[in-house]
Amino acid sequence: GRNVLLFRNNDMRMRGDVQLDVSGPLEHLMIRGSTGLTGGYYTRTIDFIGMIGSSAAPVSEGVGFLFSFRDPPLKDAGFDIKITTIEPFRIRNNLIRGSLRPELSLRGTGELPYLIGAVYIDPSRVILPSGRLQVQSGLLRFLEGEPDRPQLDLVAQSRLLGYDINLVTHGPLDDPVITLSSNPALPNEDLLLLLLTGQPPRKDVAGGAQSRGATNVMVYLGRDFLNKWLEDESGATDESILDRFELDFGRDVTKSGEQTIESTFRLSEYTTGTGRILYLAGEKDKYDTYNYGLRVVFRFE
């Protein structure tokens, strides 16, 4: 079937072009074929403030089962289904704006299925109280020996208060190793606090700058509240008004010691591929000057 609804609940939807072939005796069926994902999204809200404020270490038990059939004949059926991407799977919630491109194989049995292959992470952004963390590239690998413990490789960058920050993540998804570095260099504690909350390093704190981290968190919570309030819970639209709005504090420091401000509002509908996108743009630059205007972005293949 074409554009078949594969899964749907309040937080996620998946569709795909499905071609399956079922063969063999009823007690040992073999299901082969392919599924090309034609689109989908994941929108569940993530309590980021609660995550960083909790003193308890997260507990993970791997990725768990995709599904499981307990009764024959599907319980003992074997799978060999290739999963490819026609249209990327989108993640859009209060924390992440991005897309994924699975290139996987579904193996195992109906009782214990598993995935082998890779999920490619397209350039995406993570929305933090400090600003935006731009994911340059990423890869989630499901290995033959440990399909329930995928391996994550990810590279991301950000610029905050004049510091260029690099983040490299690798290792198991449930226990990754995260390496942070910056230019100019900062102690790890200051760098982590700057990235998560926008709090300036201790050596740069002067006057009222100590309150910046708290202010950024309050703005973050306010944006999260407005996004929940304005979003269309019926699923009739894929984006809210706030999805078109971007606000960045503190990519640099102005001459007076304040944070720079950059904001845009997208006027055009978002489409994939080539085309022209219009934005209303405004900023407070590093010279303490306010600028505004119309920005036109052309995209080429």
For 80-121, the pLDDT digits (tens) are 999 999 999 999 888 888 999 999 999 999 999 999 999 999
Q: Which residue has the higher pLDDT, 73 or 263?
A: 73
Is residue 222 over pLDDT 70? no
First to last CA, the chain: 30
Indicate the number of domains in the chain.
Answer: 1
The listed range with the strongest mean pLDDT (31-35, 197-201, 254-258, 274-278) is 31-35
The mean pLDDT value for 42-68 works out to 62
Residue 266 lies in a domain: no
Mean pLDDT of 244-273: 76
How does residue 131 score in pLDDT terms, banded at 50, 70 and 90? Answer: confident
pLDDT (mean) for 239-265: 77
| pLDDT higher than 50, residue 233 | no
Residues forming beta bridges with residue 294, ordered by sequence position: 280
Give the mean model confidence (pLDDT) for residues 35-39: 93
Residue 241 lies in a domain: yes
Residue 279 lies in a domain: no
pLDDT at 253: 82
Average pLDDT on 242-253 reads 74
Flag whether pLDDT at 127 surpasses 70: yes
Please tell me the least confidently modeled range out of 51-55, 70-74, 234-238. Answer: 234-238
**Cα separations (Å) of 212 from 131, 148, 291?**
12, 41, 23
Q: Is 226 contained in some domain?
A: yes
User: Does any domain span residue 276?
Assistant: no
Q: Is residue 280 part of a domain?
A: no
Residue 61 pLDDT: 46
CA–CA distance, 162 with 156 (Å, rounded to integer): 17
Give the pLDDT confidence score for residue 203 in this predicted structure. 59
Q: Is residue 277 part of a domain?
A: no
Query: Whole domain around residue 35: which residue ranges?
Result: 4-253
297 in a structural domain: no
Q: How confident is the model at residue 235 (pLDDT cuts 50, 70, 90)?
A: very low
Residue 132: band (very low, low, confident or very high) from pLDDT cuts 50, 70, 90:
confident
